[in-house]
Amino acid sequence: MKKKTVYTLLIVLLIGLLFISFKIISGKYDKQDTFILFFKEIVPVKLKNNLRNYVYEFRKNLDKNKKENLQKAKWDQGLNGELISSKIIKSNTGKKKYNVREFFLPFEQLDLSYGYAALSNSKRAHYLETINDKTLIVSGEGEFIFFDTKNFTKDKLNQNKLGSNLLQIIEKNNFKFIGLRDLLIDRDNLYISVVLKDTNENYTISILNAKLNYNKLNFEFFFKTNLNIKKFSIGTGGRIVSFRDNKLLFTIGHLNFLDEIQDPNHLAGKIISIDNHDKSFELVSLGHRNHQGLFYFNDKLENQFIISSEHGPKGGDEINVNNLKNNRVINFGWPIASYGINYDGSNPFKPSHKKYGFEEPLINFTPSVGISEISVVSNTDSNTIYASSLRAKSIYIVKTNKEFSEVANLDRLIFDHRIRDLKYEETLGGFLVIFENTPSVGFIKAMINN
Protein backbone atom coordinates (compact mmCIF):
# COMPACT_ATOMS: atom_id res chain seq x y z
CA MET A 1 0.00 0.00 0.00
CA LYS A 2 2.83 2.36 0.91
CA LYS A 3 4.68 1.53 -2.33
CA LYS A 4 1.53 2.23 -4.33
CA THR A 5 1.14 5.62 -2.63
CA VAL A 6 4.78 6.51 -3.33
CA TYR A 7 4.46 5.46 -6.99
CA THR A 8 1.28 7.50 -7.33
CA LEU A 9 2.96 10.54 -5.85
CA LEU A 10 5.97 10.11 -8.14
CA ILE A 11 3.72 9.82 -11.20
CA VAL A 12 1.77 12.92 -10.18
CA LEU A 13 5.04 14.76 -9.57
CA LEU A 14 6.42 13.65 -12.95
CA ILE A 15 3.26 14.73 -14.76
CA GLY A 16 3.40 18.06 -12.94
CA LEU A 17 7.04 18.58 -13.90
CA LEU A 18 6.32 17.68 -17.53
CA PHE A 19 3.37 20.07 -17.60
CA ILE A 20 5.39 22.93 -16.10
CA SER A 21 8.34 22.16 -18.39
CA PHE A 22 6.09 22.25 -21.45
CA LYS A 23 4.55 25.55 -20.41
CA ILE A 24 8.00 27.07 -19.92
CA ILE A 25 9.43 25.72 -23.18
CA SER A 26 6.32 26.70 -25.16
CA GLY A 27 6.28 30.19 -23.66
CA LYS A 28 2.54 29.82 -23.03
CA TYR A 29 2.42 30.88 -19.41
CA ASP A 30 1.99 33.99 -17.33
CA LYS A 31 5.49 35.46 -17.17
CA GLN A 32 4.77 36.63 -13.61
CA ASP A 33 3.66 33.21 -12.33
CA THR A 34 5.62 32.95 -9.07
CA PHE A 35 5.75 29.14 -9.04
CA ILE A 36 7.10 28.91 -12.59
CA LEU A 37 9.57 31.71 -11.89
CA PHE A 38 10.79 29.76 -8.85
CA PHE A 39 11.08 26.60 -10.96
CA LYS A 40 13.16 28.46 -13.56
CA GLU A 41 15.42 29.89 -10.86
CA ILE A 42 16.41 26.48 -9.52
CA VAL A 43 17.52 25.28 -12.98
CA PRO A 44 21.32 25.72 -13.20
CA VAL A 45 22.42 28.68 -15.33
CA LYS A 46 24.69 26.53 -17.53
CA LEU A 47 21.82 24.14 -18.29
CA LYS A 48 19.48 27.06 -19.08
CA ASN A 49 22.03 28.56 -21.47
CA ASN A 50 22.53 25.20 -23.20
CA LEU A 51 18.77 24.74 -23.58
CA ARG A 52 18.05 28.27 -24.82
CA ASN A 53 18.51 27.59 -28.55
CA TYR A 54 16.46 24.42 -28.29
CA VAL A 55 13.67 26.27 -26.50
CA TYR A 56 13.48 29.04 -29.11
CA GLU A 57 13.53 26.49 -31.92
CA PHE A 58 10.72 24.56 -30.23
CA ARG A 59 8.67 27.72 -29.81
CA LYS A 60 9.24 28.66 -33.44
CA ASN A 61 7.88 25.30 -34.60
CA LEU A 62 5.01 25.22 -32.12
CA ASP A 63 1.80 26.17 -33.97
CA LYS A 64 4.07 26.89 -36.95
CA ASN A 65 1.29 26.65 -39.53
CA LYS A 66 -0.96 28.94 -37.52
CA LYS A 67 1.80 31.53 -37.20
CA GLU A 68 2.73 31.30 -40.88
CA ASN A 69 -0.90 31.67 -41.91
CA LEU A 70 -1.21 34.77 -39.72
CA GLN A 71 1.87 36.32 -41.32
CA LYS A 72 0.59 35.45 -44.79
CA ALA A 73 -2.78 37.02 -44.00
CA LYS A 74 -0.97 40.13 -42.77
CA TRP A 75 0.96 40.61 -46.00
CA ASP A 76 -1.96 39.60 -48.23
CA GLN A 77 -4.27 42.23 -46.73
CA GLY A 78 -1.76 44.98 -47.51
CA LEU A 79 -2.75 48.37 -46.15
CA ASN A 80 -6.33 47.41 -45.30
CA GLY A 81 -5.48 47.18 -41.60
CA GLU A 82 -8.01 44.39 -41.23
CA LEU A 83 -9.49 43.35 -37.91
CA ILE A 84 -7.73 40.23 -36.59
CA SER A 85 -9.90 39.69 -33.54
CA SER A 86 -12.36 41.32 -31.17
CA LYS A 87 -12.78 39.85 -27.71
CA ILE A 88 -13.72 40.59 -24.13
CA ILE A 89 -11.13 40.14 -21.39
CA LYS A 90 -11.32 40.56 -17.63
CA SER A 91 -8.84 42.34 -15.42
CA ASN A 92 -6.82 40.25 -12.98
CA THR A 93 -9.17 41.05 -10.12
CA GLY A 94 -12.14 40.17 -12.31
CA LYS A 95 -13.84 43.42 -11.44
CA LYS A 96 -13.65 45.02 -14.88
CA LYS A 97 -14.22 43.86 -18.45
CA TYR A 98 -12.55 45.33 -21.52
CA ASN A 99 -13.19 45.02 -25.23
CA VAL A 100 -9.95 44.42 -27.17
CA ARG A 101 -9.87 44.97 -30.94
CA GLU A 102 -6.69 44.01 -32.80
CA PHE A 103 -5.76 45.10 -36.34
CA PHE A 104 -2.92 44.18 -38.70
CA LEU A 105 0.10 46.42 -39.19
CA PRO A 106 2.09 46.07 -42.45
CA PHE A 107 5.44 45.77 -40.65
CA GLU A 108 8.03 43.05 -40.08
CA GLN A 109 7.61 40.61 -37.21
CA LEU A 110 9.73 40.59 -34.06
CA ASP A 111 11.90 37.47 -33.81
CA LEU A 112 12.90 36.73 -30.21
CA SER A 113 14.89 33.67 -31.23
CA TYR A 114 17.71 36.15 -31.86
CA GLY A 115 17.43 37.41 -28.27
CA TYR A 116 16.05 40.63 -26.81
CA ALA A 117 19.32 42.52 -27.30
CA ALA A 118 19.82 41.52 -30.94
CA LEU A 119 20.68 44.38 -33.26
CA SER A 120 18.18 43.09 -35.82
CA ASN A 121 15.31 43.47 -33.34
CA SER A 122 16.19 47.15 -32.89
CA LYS A 123 14.12 47.72 -36.05
CA ARG A 124 11.09 45.82 -34.75
CA ALA A 125 9.91 48.43 -32.22
CA HIS A 126 6.96 50.44 -33.57
CA TYR A 127 5.31 53.58 -32.16
CA LEU A 128 2.03 55.45 -32.55
CA GLU A 129 0.68 58.95 -32.05
CA THR A 130 -2.64 60.73 -32.64
CA ILE A 131 -3.31 64.26 -33.86
CA ASN A 132 -6.76 65.75 -34.52
CA ASP A 133 -8.71 62.95 -36.26
CA LYS A 134 -5.68 60.96 -37.46
CA THR A 135 -3.49 58.18 -36.08
CA LEU A 136 0.11 57.89 -37.27
CA ILE A 137 2.29 54.83 -36.77
CA VAL A 138 5.99 54.48 -37.56
CA SER A 139 7.74 51.14 -37.90
CA GLY A 140 11.14 50.37 -36.46
CA GLU A 141 12.49 50.59 -40.01
CA GLY A 142 11.24 54.15 -40.46
CA GLU A 143 8.08 53.46 -42.48
CA PHE A 144 5.10 55.73 -41.76
CA ILE A 145 1.40 55.03 -42.15
CA PHE A 146 -1.70 57.01 -41.15
CA PHE A 147 -5.47 56.54 -41.02
CA ASP A 148 -8.62 57.99 -39.46
CA THR A 149 -8.71 57.31 -35.72
CA LYS A 150 -12.46 56.62 -35.89
CA ASN A 151 -11.67 53.49 -37.94
CA PHE A 152 -10.75 51.67 -34.73
CA THR A 153 -14.50 51.15 -34.31
CA LYS A 154 -14.76 49.53 -37.77
CA ASP A 155 -13.46 46.31 -39.32
CA LYS A 156 -10.69 47.99 -41.36
CA LEU A 157 -8.33 50.84 -40.55
CA ASN A 158 -7.76 51.73 -44.24
CA GLN A 159 -4.12 52.68 -43.79
CA ASN A 160 -2.20 55.05 -46.03
CA LYS A 161 1.55 55.15 -46.61
CA LEU A 162 3.37 58.38 -45.80
CA GLY A 163 6.71 58.95 -47.50
CA SER A 164 9.71 60.62 -45.89
CA ASN A 165 13.37 61.48 -46.42
CA LEU A 166 14.32 59.89 -43.08
CA LEU A 167 16.84 57.33 -44.29
CA GLN A 168 18.30 59.74 -46.83
CA ILE A 169 18.92 62.56 -44.32
CA ILE A 170 20.51 60.10 -41.89
CA GLU A 171 22.83 58.79 -44.60
CA LYS A 172 23.63 62.34 -45.75
CA ASN A 173 24.85 63.10 -42.21
CA ASN A 174 27.18 60.06 -42.35
CA PHE A 175 25.14 57.85 -40.04
CA LYS A 176 23.65 54.39 -40.40
CA PHE A 177 20.08 53.95 -39.17
CA ILE A 178 19.83 51.35 -36.37
CA GLY A 179 16.28 51.82 -35.07
CA LEU A 180 13.55 54.07 -33.67
CA ARG A 181 12.78 54.75 -30.02
CA ASP A 182 9.73 57.04 -30.03
CA LEU A 183 7.31 59.20 -31.99
CA LEU A 184 5.77 62.51 -30.88
CA ILE A 185 3.51 64.98 -32.62
CA ASP A 186 3.42 68.42 -31.01
CA ARG A 187 1.08 70.81 -32.81
CA ASP A 188 2.34 70.76 -36.44
CA ASN A 189 5.74 69.22 -35.66
CA LEU A 190 6.60 65.54 -35.74
CA TYR A 191 9.58 64.23 -33.73
CA ILE A 192 11.27 60.83 -33.69
CA SER A 193 14.16 59.57 -31.59
CA VAL A 194 16.60 57.31 -33.42
CA VAL A 195 19.60 55.13 -32.64
CA LEU A 196 22.41 55.67 -35.15
CA LYS A 197 25.90 54.38 -35.94
CA ASP A 198 28.60 56.69 -37.28
CA THR A 199 31.49 55.98 -39.66
CA ASN A 200 33.74 55.10 -36.70
CA GLU A 201 31.32 52.34 -35.65
CA ASN A 202 30.16 54.34 -32.60
CA TYR A 203 26.48 54.32 -31.58
CA THR A 204 24.50 57.37 -30.50
CA ILE A 205 20.92 58.57 -30.00
CA SER A 206 19.40 61.71 -31.54
CA ILE A 207 16.07 63.42 -32.31
CA LEU A 208 14.93 64.37 -35.81
CA ASN A 209 11.87 66.46 -36.64
CA ALA A 210 9.68 67.35 -39.60
CA LYS A 211 6.67 69.54 -40.28
CA LEU A 212 3.55 67.39 -40.25
CA ASN A 213 2.59 66.91 -43.89
CA TYR A 214 0.46 64.01 -45.12
CA ASN A 215 2.15 64.08 -48.53
CA LYS A 216 5.74 63.71 -47.34
CA LEU A 217 7.75 64.21 -44.17
CA ASN A 218 10.98 66.15 -44.66
CA PHE A 219 13.19 65.47 -41.65
CA GLU A 220 16.16 67.34 -40.31
CA PHE A 221 18.27 66.82 -37.21
CA PHE A 222 16.75 68.52 -34.18
CA PHE A 223 18.95 67.41 -31.27
CA LYS A 224 22.15 65.36 -31.07
CA THR A 225 23.33 63.94 -27.76
CA ASN A 226 26.87 63.55 -29.18
CA LEU A 227 27.25 60.47 -27.01
CA ASN A 228 29.59 57.92 -28.58
CA ILE A 229 29.10 54.32 -27.51
CA LYS A 230 31.47 51.61 -28.72
CA LYS A 231 29.12 48.70 -28.12
CA PHE A 232 25.43 48.59 -29.05
CA SER A 233 23.13 48.88 -26.03
CA ILE A 234 19.40 48.29 -25.70
CA GLY A 235 19.44 50.67 -22.72
CA THR A 236 18.79 53.71 -24.86
CA GLY A 237 15.72 55.34 -23.32
CA GLY A 238 14.54 57.65 -26.10
CA ARG A 239 11.05 58.69 -25.05
CA ILE A 240 9.90 62.19 -26.07
CA VAL A 241 6.88 64.13 -24.73
CA SER A 242 5.65 67.71 -24.91
CA PHE A 243 6.53 69.82 -21.89
CA ARG A 244 5.77 73.30 -20.57
CA ASP A 245 7.17 76.57 -21.96
CA ASN A 246 7.44 75.20 -25.52
CA LYS A 247 9.92 72.53 -24.49
CA LEU A 248 10.24 68.78 -24.92
CA LEU A 249 11.18 66.13 -22.38
CA PHE A 250 13.67 63.49 -23.56
CA THR A 251 14.85 60.32 -21.79
CA ILE A 252 18.40 59.07 -22.34
CA GLY A 253 19.19 55.60 -21.01
CA HIS A 254 22.36 54.19 -19.49
CA LEU A 255 23.85 53.27 -22.92
CA ASN A 256 26.38 51.00 -21.17
CA PHE A 257 27.69 53.86 -19.04
CA LEU A 258 27.76 53.39 -15.27
CA ASP A 259 29.58 55.99 -13.14
CA GLU A 260 28.58 58.72 -15.62
CA ILE A 261 24.90 58.25 -14.74
CA GLN A 262 25.43 60.08 -11.44
CA ASP A 263 27.42 62.84 -13.20
CA PRO A 264 25.08 65.81 -13.85
CA ASN A 265 27.34 66.92 -16.72
CA HIS A 266 26.95 63.66 -18.64
CA LEU A 267 23.76 62.82 -20.57
CA ALA A 268 23.59 59.08 -19.84
CA GLY A 269 20.78 58.08 -17.45
CA LYS A 270 18.99 61.44 -17.55
CA ILE A 271 15.73 63.17 -18.36
CA ILE A 272 16.34 66.55 -19.96
CA SER A 273 14.14 69.34 -21.25
CA ILE A 274 14.96 70.75 -24.70
CA ASP A 275 13.94 74.23 -25.84
CA ASN A 276 12.09 74.06 -29.15
CA HIS A 277 13.57 77.34 -30.38
CA ASP A 278 17.28 77.33 -29.60
CA LYS A 279 17.72 73.57 -28.82
CA SER A 280 19.33 74.35 -25.47
CA PHE A 281 18.68 71.77 -22.77
CA GLU A 282 18.41 71.56 -18.98
CA LEU A 283 18.77 68.65 -16.62
CA VAL A 284 15.45 67.56 -15.09
CA SER A 285 16.40 64.33 -13.32
CA LEU A 286 19.23 61.80 -13.11
CA GLY A 287 19.92 58.33 -11.77
CA HIS A 288 17.83 56.53 -14.42
CA ARG A 289 18.66 53.18 -15.97
CA ASN A 290 16.54 52.60 -19.08
CA HIS A 291 13.33 54.63 -19.01
CA GLN A 292 10.85 53.22 -21.52
CA GLY A 293 7.81 55.27 -20.51
CA LEU A 294 7.27 59.00 -20.03
CA PHE A 295 4.26 61.20 -19.26
CA TYR A 296 3.92 64.89 -18.38
CA PHE A 297 0.88 65.46 -16.17
CA ASN A 298 -0.61 68.92 -15.68
CA ASP A 299 -4.00 69.16 -13.98
CA LYS A 300 -6.52 72.02 -13.76
CA LEU A 301 -4.97 73.19 -10.49
CA GLU A 302 -1.58 73.54 -12.22
CA ASN A 303 -0.09 70.62 -10.33
CA GLN A 304 2.68 69.27 -12.52
CA PHE A 305 4.34 65.86 -12.46
CA ILE A 306 6.75 63.96 -14.68
CA ILE A 307 5.98 60.26 -14.49
CA SER A 308 8.44 57.80 -15.97
CA SER A 309 8.88 54.04 -16.06
CA GLU A 310 12.19 52.23 -16.36
CA HIS A 311 13.73 48.80 -16.56
CA GLY A 312 15.64 47.61 -13.55
CA PRO A 313 18.45 45.05 -13.82
CA LYS A 314 16.99 41.64 -12.84
CA GLY A 315 13.91 42.85 -11.00
CA GLY A 316 13.38 46.38 -9.79
CA ASP A 317 11.39 47.80 -12.73
CA GLU A 318 10.11 51.16 -11.53
CA ILE A 319 7.46 53.81 -11.95
CA ASN A 320 8.96 57.10 -10.79
CA VAL A 321 7.29 60.42 -10.04
CA ASN A 322 8.89 63.86 -10.17
CA ASN A 323 6.66 66.44 -8.47
CA LEU A 324 7.70 69.67 -10.18
CA LYS A 325 6.61 71.84 -7.25
CA ASN A 326 9.91 70.76 -5.66
CA ASN A 327 11.64 72.84 -8.32
CA ARG A 328 14.86 70.84 -8.16
CA VAL A 329 16.75 68.16 -10.06
CA ILE A 330 15.61 64.78 -8.70
CA ASN A 331 18.00 61.82 -8.36
CA PHE A 332 16.37 58.38 -8.71
CA GLY A 333 19.43 56.46 -7.58
CA TRP A 334 20.78 54.25 -10.38
CA PRO A 335 23.32 52.63 -10.29
CA ILE A 336 23.56 52.89 -6.50
CA ALA A 337 20.01 52.11 -5.40
CA SER A 338 17.76 49.45 -6.92
CA TYR A 339 15.29 46.79 -5.81
CA GLY A 340 16.74 44.45 -8.44
CA ILE A 341 19.96 42.45 -8.64
CA ASN A 342 22.49 41.75 -11.37
CA TYR A 343 21.82 38.83 -13.72
CA ASP A 344 24.86 37.00 -12.39
CA GLY A 345 23.20 36.94 -8.96
CA SER A 346 25.41 39.60 -7.39
CA ASN A 347 23.75 42.49 -5.58
CA PRO A 348 25.82 45.66 -5.13
CA PHE A 349 22.70 47.83 -4.86
CA LYS A 350 21.16 49.64 -1.91
CA PRO A 351 17.52 48.52 -1.61
CA SER A 352 16.44 51.70 0.11
CA HIS A 353 16.56 54.80 -2.10
CA LYS A 354 15.47 57.30 0.53
CA LYS A 355 18.07 56.19 3.09
CA TYR A 356 20.85 57.13 0.69
CA GLY A 357 19.38 60.43 -0.46
CA PHE A 358 17.52 59.26 -3.57
CA GLU A 359 13.87 59.41 -4.60
CA GLU A 360 11.90 56.25 -3.92
CA PRO A 361 9.91 54.81 -6.84
CA LEU A 362 6.13 55.03 -6.57
CA ILE A 363 6.09 51.28 -7.18
CA ASN A 364 8.64 48.66 -8.20
CA PHE A 365 8.04 45.37 -9.98
CA THR A 366 10.07 42.37 -8.90
CA PRO A 367 10.27 40.07 -10.82
CA SER A 368 10.71 42.39 -13.80
CA VAL A 369 7.72 42.98 -16.06
CA GLY A 370 9.71 44.65 -18.86
CA ILE A 371 7.83 47.88 -18.28
CA SER A 372 7.30 50.12 -21.32
CA GLU A 373 5.10 53.12 -22.13
CA ILE A 374 2.73 54.71 -19.61
CA SER A 375 -0.33 56.93 -19.76
CA VAL A 376 -2.32 58.69 -17.05
CA VAL A 377 -6.05 59.28 -16.69
CA SER A 378 -7.21 61.77 -14.06
CA ASN A 379 -10.28 61.06 -11.94
CA THR A 380 -12.16 63.28 -9.48
CA ASP A 381 -10.34 62.13 -6.35
CA SER A 382 -7.55 59.96 -7.80
CA ASN A 383 -5.30 59.33 -10.77
CA THR A 384 -4.71 56.12 -12.67
CA ILE A 385 -1.43 55.18 -14.30
CA TYR A 386 -1.66 52.63 -17.12
CA ALA A 387 1.72 50.94 -17.62
CA SER A 388 2.31 48.61 -20.54
CA SER A 389 4.88 45.84 -20.43
CA LEU A 390 6.95 43.70 -22.76
CA ARG A 391 7.99 40.66 -20.75
CA ALA A 392 4.74 40.35 -18.75
CA LYS A 393 2.57 41.05 -21.84
CA SER A 394 0.28 43.14 -19.69
CA ILE A 395 -1.10 46.55 -18.87
CA TYR A 396 -0.79 47.35 -15.17
CA ILE A 397 -3.49 49.62 -13.80
CA VAL A 398 -2.06 51.62 -10.90
CA LYS A 399 -4.59 53.76 -9.03
CA THR A 400 -2.99 56.51 -6.93
CA ASN A 401 -3.96 59.53 -4.88
CA LYS A 402 -4.00 62.94 -6.58
CA GLU A 403 -0.35 63.60 -5.64
CA PHE A 404 0.93 60.29 -7.12
CA SER A 405 2.51 59.55 -3.73
CA GLU A 406 0.51 56.47 -2.72
CA VAL A 407 -0.75 53.41 -4.58
CA ALA A 408 -4.38 52.75 -3.69
CA ASN A 409 -4.98 49.75 -5.95
CA LEU A 410 -3.16 47.59 -8.50
CA ASP A 411 -4.86 45.63 -11.27
CA ARG A 412 -3.65 43.97 -14.45
CA LEU A 413 -4.80 43.13 -17.97
CA ILE A 414 -3.02 40.12 -19.51
CA PHE A 415 -2.56 39.70 -23.28
CA ASP A 416 -0.84 37.32 -25.70
CA HIS A 417 1.52 40.03 -26.92
CA ARG A 418 4.42 42.16 -25.81
CA ILE A 419 3.17 45.77 -25.65
CA ARG A 420 5.57 48.44 -26.87
CA ASP A 421 3.51 51.63 -26.98
CA LEU A 422 0.30 52.92 -25.41
CA LYS A 423 -1.73 56.12 -25.71
CA TYR A 424 -5.07 57.14 -24.22
CA GLU A 425 -7.33 58.46 -26.97
CA GLU A 426 -9.96 60.72 -25.45
CA THR A 427 -12.21 60.85 -28.52
CA LEU A 428 -12.66 57.06 -28.34
CA GLY A 429 -12.55 56.77 -24.56
CA GLY A 430 -9.95 54.01 -24.68
CA PHE A 431 -6.34 53.05 -25.26
CA LEU A 432 -4.41 52.51 -28.46
CA VAL A 433 -1.54 50.04 -28.14
CA ILE A 434 1.21 48.52 -30.25
CA PHE A 435 1.31 44.73 -29.95
CA GLU A 436 4.78 43.56 -31.01
CA ASN A 437 4.44 39.90 -31.84
CA THR A 438 2.49 40.03 -35.12
CA PRO A 439 2.82 43.13 -35.09
CA SER A 440 -0.58 44.72 -34.71
CA VAL A 441 -2.31 47.76 -33.27
CA GLY A 442 -5.03 47.41 -30.66
CA PHE A 443 -7.92 49.43 -29.28
CA ILE A 444 -8.81 48.67 -25.66
CA LYS A 445 -11.92 50.09 -24.01
CA ALA A 446 -13.56 49.41 -20.66
CA MET A 447 -17.08 48.00 -20.96
CA ILE A 448 -19.84 50.44 -20.06
CA ASN A 449 -21.52 48.04 -17.59
CA ASN A 450 -18.38 47.73 -15.39
pLDDT digits (tens, 9 = 90+) for 340-377: 999 889 999 998 999 999 999 999 999 999 999 999 99
CB 236 within 8 A of CB 181: yes
Can you give the pLDDT at residue 326?
A: 83
Report the candidate in 118, 140, 74, 69 with the shortest Cα–Cα distance to residue 434. 140
Alpha carbons 112 and 446: distance in angstroms, whole number: 31
* Backbone dihedral angles phi then psi of residue 123, each to the nearest 5 degrees: -100, 20
The pLDDT of residue 110: 81
List, in sequence order, the alpha helices (H) in 125-210. 166-172
Mean per-residue pLDDT over the chain, rounded: 91
Nearest in space to 136 (alpha carbons), one of 421, 436, 430, 426: 421
- Average pLDDT, integer, range 181-205: 96
pLDDT at 16: 57
Q: Report pLDDT digits (tens) over 207-236.
A: 999 999 999 999 999 999 999 999 999 999
Q: Residue 134: CA atoms inside 13 Å, Cβ hemisphere, count?
A: 16
Q: What is the pLDDT of residue 113?
A: 66
Alpha-carbon span 362 to 346, nearest angstrom: 25
pLDDT higher than threshold 60 for residue 246 = yes
pLDDT, residue 115, reads: 66
User: ∠ CA 162-163-168 to the nearest 5 degrees?
Assistant: 150
Q: What percent of the chain has pLDDT over 70?
A: 87
Residue 97 CA: distances (Å) to CA of 38, 91, 102, 104, 238: 30, 6, 16, 23, 33
User: Helices then strands (H, E): number in the chain?
Assistant: 5, 27
| pLDDT surpasses 60 at 70 | yes
Global pTM exceeds 0.85 = yes
CA distance 193 to 246: 18
Neighbours of 212 (CB within 10 A): 18
Using the 8-state DSSP alphabet, how is residue 150 labeled? Answer: G
CB 188 within 8 A of CB 212: yes
Does residue 181 surpass a pLDDT of 70?
yes
Q: How far apart are CA 395 and CA 321, in angstroms?
A: 18
Range with the poorest average pLDDT among 192-196, 219-223, 224-228, 323-327? 323-327
The amino acid occupying position 213 is N
Q: What percent of the chain has pLDDT over 90?
A: 76
- The CATH class that applies to domain 66-446 reads mainly beta
- Distance (Å, whole) CA 168 – CA 163: 12
What pLDDT, on a 0 to 100 scale, did the predictor assign at position 32?
Answer: 82
Q: 64 pLDDT band (50/70/90 cuts)?
A: confident
List residues bridging with 146 in a β-sheet: 136, 160
Strand, helix or coil for residue 406: coil
Q: Is the pLDDT of residue 301 over 90?
A: no
Q: Positive or negative CA dihedral for 294, 376, 369, 428? A: negative
Instruction: Parse the chain into domains and list their residue ranges.
Output: 2-59, 66-446
The arithmetic mean of pLDDT across residues 29-38, rounded, is 73
Largest CA distance in the chain: 85
pLDDT higher than threshold 70 for residue 320: yes
Q: What is the spatial distance between Cα 321 and Cα 404, in angstroms, rounded to a whole number?
A: 7
pLDDT of residue 12: 59
**C-alpha to C-alpha distance for 68 and 109, rounded to whole angstroms:** 11
pLDDT score recorded for residue 37: 73
First to last CA, the chain: 53
Spatial distance between the Cα atoms of 168 and 166, rounded to a whole number of angstroms: 5
Q: Is the pLDDT of residue 54 over 80?
A: no
Q: How far apart (Å, rounded) are the C-alpha atoms in residues 310 and 338? A: 11
DSSP H helical ranges for 158-227:
166-172
For residues 373-386, average pLDDT: 95
Using an 8 Å Cβ cutoff, are 179 and 125 in contact?
yes
